[in-house]
Amino acid sequence: MKFMKKITLTLICILILFICQIKISDGETLKTNNSDFVFIKDKKIFLNIADTEEKKIKGLMYIDSISDNQGMVFIFKTPDYRTFWMKNMKIPLDIVFISNNKIATIYKEVPVCGKDPCQLYSSRHKIDSVIEFKNGFCDKNNIKIGDKIKFSENIKIKKAGLKEN
């Protein structure tokens, strides 16, 4: 009888650990490197780069959290009007549309969208890139339309390379 209780208790513990592991690995955190970043008002933010169609489609889907100094930049070959949405997102974001290294449009505290139809967030001008930040970033750092953006050399090279294609 004692032996059966030990086995049952052991199996319950293993099941609990397994369930916890599933919950822990369910989502992702944003991983960035030191060479891809942007300066906005002397604040350095490390960025993941979405420069392919696959990366642009996925964006920050399935990311559970990002820190205050992280984000994702979407780089486009040619300036145009762009539209984003928050379908399948896990966290709310601030979305910043950029034209010629200047902020053209800002959407703050954009909520996640769990079911269709999802709200669309469009640029008001032709833009060449978009940065998604942790929600509240723009208010916390007093980011405004017209603020200048300074990309790292690595991102400038990728932007220039896309325009050549």
DSSP E strands, 100-143: 102-110, 121-122, 127-134
Give pLDDT, residue 18. 45
Cα(27)–Cα(109) distance, rounded to whole angstroms?
A: 21
The average confidence (pLDDT) of the chain is 85
Does the pLDDT value for residue 20 go beyond 50? Answer: no
Cα(56)–Cα(72) distance, rounded to whole angstroms?
A: 10
Cα(113)–Cα(91) distance, rounded to whole angstroms?
A: 10
Model confidence pLDDT, tens digit, residues 40-82: 998 999 999 998 899 999 999 989 999 999 999 999 989 999 9
Contact 120, 100 (CB under 8 A): no
- 28-164 maps to which CATH number? 2.60.120.1140
Give pLDDT, residue 35. 81
Binned at pLDDT 50, 70 and 90, residue 23 comes out as very low
Cα(2)–Cα(117) distance, rounded to whole angstroms?
A: 57
Give pLDDT, residue 62. 86
Q: Which residue has the higher pLDDT, 42 or 11?
A: 42
What integer is the mean pLDDT of 105-114?
95
Contact 146, 123 (CB under 8 A): no
Give pLDDT, residue 17. 45
Question: Is 75 exposed, middle or buried, given 0-12, 13-18 or 19+ CB atoms closer than 10 A?
Answer: buried
Model confidence pLDDT, tens digit, residues 26-41: 566 677 777 899 999 9
Give pLDDT, residue 13. 42
